């Protein structure tokens, strides 16, 4: 790749106003080989930002279900980082709508790449696309090559698995100009950091319970969590090396990782108690108790409908996911494109706690799902 091309890179980030997307845009805008970063997001306010380091950030409002709008935004782009998705663990969004965005939107992105001869796509997926499955079989410290099968438990995970299949199949596809499409997949997990709404919700719940933070997962359960800045950095490096070493990265999948501990309840407590020392770690809530509460909630909801429309509540697939060990240990991203976390666990915790402290002043109703498309 010539240095001339290097200086003229145009990147498009779908969902670039979302939790992960925003951080990706921030890091991309600091890279000297990128001329322009375009953001395509349904929640965007159209504006042009000029950021130091001669990188233009152009924000475009649009829904990835709208193929023609997407096509217009993608004209003249070299690389697409596709993060746009409806992220919903609590079944607040109908499955058909989530599928239309997460699967149909991905189909649109790949189709537009072939029409406009855009050769590189990095797709943001999720560990939920792999499992846990409906049998709740654990995966303990696996890696990208670990064989794990069965139907995925979470509806959100099902849509991400379908979209992954499209991205895998599109790798090597012919572009209009005779070139070929090169794709890779990054699987995020429990991502935390500034603007992580689930942490605000947790803080509210703990405050409402005399500063006690109880937890659902058994203490031996393992699950990876990664700081949003490190997830974003992995995307930036993968997108760069997809161009520099296409033969190595093409069709590959990478798990996100950093040095955040694998015990979710301890991670949450450490972050919350860093910003508010009065938050105490409570005790484990037994599975049977939550199972009963979920079923009672469902029965009451049916009986009192339409007079009572409660806030979305925990559901069985989500409870099963929380209590099942699903963890991995890998250095594949380091081996393939030199990824090392930008932020340590201490820094990640501190940055997240600082944001939480600032946000605590205007905490109101919990936001129960994020929509990033």
Tell which wins on pLDDT, 45 or 241: 241
165 CB neighbour count, 10 Å cutoff? 13
Question: How far is residue 254 from each of residues 53, 119, 274, 320, measured CA to CA in Å?
Answer: 29, 19, 31, 24
* Signed CA dihedral, 110, 115, 116, 120: sign only: positive
How many separate domains does the chain show? 1
pLDDT class of 365 with cuts at 50, 70, 90:
very low
In angstroms, rounded to a whole number, what is the distance separating the alpha carbons of residues 223 and 246?
31
Q: Are residues 129 and 161 in contact, defined by beta-carbon separation less than 8 angstroms?
A: yes
pLDDT class of 337 with cuts at 50, 70, 90:
very high
pLDDT class of 364 with cuts at 50, 70, 90:
very low
pLDDT at 168 over 60: yes
36: left (phi over 0), alpha (psi -120 to 50) or beta: beta
The kind and range of the H/E element at 318 are helix 316-323
Q: Are residues 180 and 174 in contact, defined by beta-carbon separation less than 8 angstroms?
A: yes
Q: Is residue 163 part of a domain?
A: yes
Q: Is residue 313 part of a domain?
A: no
The reply to whether 33 belongs to the active site is: no
In angstroms, rounded to a whole number, what is the distance separating the alpha carbons of residues 13 and 59?
10
Q: Is residue 213 part of a domain?
A: no
In 3D, which of 78, 187, 80, 86 has the Cα closest to residue 127?
187
- Neighbouring residues of 325: CB distance < 8 A, sequence distance ≥ 6: 138, 139, 140, 220, 221, 222, 223
Domain extent, residue 158, equals 3-195+225-262+326-353+364-372
pLDDT at 362: 64
Mean pLDDT of 314-334: 95
Q: Are residues 185 and 164 in contact, defined by beta-carbon separation less than 8 angstroms?
A: yes
Question: How far is residue 277 from each of residues 198, 200, 207, 271, measured CA to CA in Å?
Answer: 19, 15, 12, 10
Burial label, 335 (beta-carbon count in 10 A; 0-12, 13-18, 19+): exposed
Q: Is residue 291 part of a domain?
A: no
pLDDT at 373: 35
pLDDT at 7: 58
pLDDT at 286: 97
Q: Is residue 35 part of a domain?
A: yes
pLDDT at 133 over 80: yes
Q: Are residues 170 and 181 in contact, defined by beta-carbon separation less than 8 angstroms?
A: yes
Q: Where are the alpha helices (DSSP H) in 83-224?
A: 95-99, 105-116, 155-170, 197-208
Q: Is residue 277 part of a domain?
A: no
The kind and range of the H/E element at 49 are strand 47-51
pLDDT at 288: 97
For the chain, give the percent of residues with pLDDT over 90. Answer: 82
Q: Which two tokens stand for residue 301?
A: 């909801």
Which one of the listed residues 156, 215, 227, 257 is annotated catalytic?
Answer: 156
Mean pLDDT of 342-350: 97
| Whole-number average pLDDT of the chain | 91
pLDDT at 8: 79
Tell which wins on pLDDT, 162 or 365: 162
In 3D, which of 102, 83, 64 has the Cα closest to residue 18?
83
pLDDT at 91: 85
In 3D, which of 366, 205, 365 has the Cα closest to residue 272?
205
Q: Is residue 98 part of a domain?
A: yes
Q: Strands 55-61 and 34-41: what pairing?
A: parallel
Q: The tokens 């699987």 sit on which residue?
A: 187
Phi, psi of 17 (to 5 degrees): -100, 0
DSSP β-bridge partners for residue 80: 12, 121
In angstroms, rounded to a whole number, what is the distance separating the alpha carbons of residues 80 and 120?
6
Q: Is the peptide bond before 283 cis (omega within 30 degrees of 0)?
A: no
Backbone Cα Rg of the chain? 21
What's 11's domain CATH number?
Answer: 3.40.50.720
pLDDT at 353 over 90: yes
In angstroms, rounded to a whole number, what is the distance separating the alpha carbons of residues 102 and 64?
9
pLDDT tens digits for 276-302?
A: 999 999 999 999 999 999 999 889 888
Q: Is residue 207 part of a domain?
A: no
pLDDT at 232 over 90: yes
Q: Are residues 366 and 15 in contact, defined by beta-carbon separation less than 8 angstroms?
A: no
Q: Where are the alpha helices (DSSP H) in 2-61?
A: 3-7, 19-28
pLDDT class of 102 with cuts at 50, 70, 90:
very high
In angstroms, rounded to a whole number, what is the distance separating the alpha carbons of residues 189 and 168?
19
pLDDT class of 120 with cuts at 50, 70, 90:
very high
> What's the pTM?
0.92
Mean pLDDT of 336-363: 92
């Amino acid at each position: 790749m010539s240095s001339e091309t290097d200086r003229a890179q145009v990147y498009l980030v779908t969902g670039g106003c979302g939790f992960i997307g925003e951080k990706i845009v921030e890091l991309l805008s600091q890279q000297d080989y990128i001329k322009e970063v375009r953001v395509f997001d349904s929640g965007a306010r159209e504006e042009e930002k000029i950021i130091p380091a001669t990188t233009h950030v152009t924000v475009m409002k649009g829904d990835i279900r709208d193929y023609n709008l997407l096509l217009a935004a993608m004209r003249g782009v070299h690389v697409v980082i596709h993060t746009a998705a409806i992220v919903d663990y609590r079944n607040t969004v109908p499955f058909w709508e989530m599928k239309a965005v997460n699967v149909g939107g991905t189909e649109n992105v790949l189709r537009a790449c072939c029409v406009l001869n855009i050769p590189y796509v990095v797709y943001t997926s999720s560990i939920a696309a792999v499992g846990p499955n409906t049998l709740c079989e654990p995966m303990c410290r696996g890696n990208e090559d670990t064989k794990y099968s069965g139907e995925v438990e979470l509806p959100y995970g099902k849509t991400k698995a379908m979209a992954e299949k499209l991205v895998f199949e599109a790798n090597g596809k012919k572009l209009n100009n005779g070139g070929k499409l090169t794709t890779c997949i990054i699987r995020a997990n429990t991502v935390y950091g500034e603007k992580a709404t689930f942490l605000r919700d947790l803080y509210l719940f703990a405050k409402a319970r005399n500063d006690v933070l109880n937890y659902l997962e058994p203490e031996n359960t393992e699950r990876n969590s990664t700081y949003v800045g490190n997830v974003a950095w992995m995307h930036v490096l993968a997108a760069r090396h997809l161009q520099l070493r296409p033969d190595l990265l093409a069709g590959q999948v990478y798990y996100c990782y950093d040095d955040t501990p694998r015990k979710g309840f301890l991670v949450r407590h450490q972050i919350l108690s860093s910003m508010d020392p009065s938050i105490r770690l409570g005790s484990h809530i037994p599975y049977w108790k939550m199972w009963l509460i979920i079923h009672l909630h469902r029965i009451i909801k049916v009986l009192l409908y339409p007079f009572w429309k409660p806030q979305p509540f925990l559901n069985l697939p989500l409870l099963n996911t929380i209590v099942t060990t699903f963890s991995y240990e890998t250095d594949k991203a380091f081996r393939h494109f030199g990824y090392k976390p930008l932020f340590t666990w201490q820094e990640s915790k501190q940055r997240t706690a600082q944001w939480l402290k600032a946000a605590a002043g205007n905490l109101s109703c919990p936001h129960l799902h994020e929509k990033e498309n």
